[in-house]
A = this chain, B = another copy of it.
Amino acid sequence: MFDLDPRLKNDCIGLCRLSLSHLLLMNNALFPWFILVPETDVAELCDLSTEKQLLLLDEINRVSRFVKAHFVMDKLNVAAIGNVVRQLHIHVIGRTLDDSCWPGVVWGSGKSAPYPEAERQRILRLVQSDPEFIPIMQG
């Protein structure tokens, strides 16, 4: 049984289950901000098995290419932090030179705006029909 951390459940929108991870969208329309939550009990990337690291690396690559393909962005921010939510999760965020936090990081900025329902649905459909995700989408 996999339990998503309550804070991630509260702050994010579930998109799909991939080979190893659950793919979430941070409910913040200011940034294309995706989160991968691998099904594991370890808190650190380096404590994942080699097999799981390789699955996760593939998923990070797919999410990165997805963000590059579908959103205006100048730079990706890819990070495993986990100071507040200890459950291992990897942020993949598209940043632009004119976003509200640039060039600072988004974590802790407090800048947030929930998605309008239509935009949330649009991103969900984008993910569910994207050739990056279809081969590794579960269930």
Interface residues in chain A, defined as those with a beta carbon under 8 Å from any beta carbon in chain B: 43-46, 53, 57, 60-61, 64-65, 68, 75-84, 86, 95, 102-105, 107-108
A73 to B92 CA separation, bound complex (whole angstroms): 24
B76 touches A95 (CB 8 A): no
Known: A81-B105, A83-B103, A103-B84. A64 touches B76 (CB 8 A): no
A16 to B53 CA separation, bound complex (whole angstroms): 25
Partner of A95, one of B75, B83, B95, B102: B83
Known: A64-B44, A105-B108, A107-B104. A82 touches B86 (CB 8 A): no
Known: A83-B102, A83-B105. A61 touches B46 (CB 8 A): yes
A60 touches B76 (CB 8 A): no
A86 touches B75 (CB 8 A): yes
B75 touches A78 (CB 8 A): no
Which 4 A-B pairs have CB atoms at the shortest separation, nearest pair first? A79-B79, A46-B64, A83-B103, A46-B61
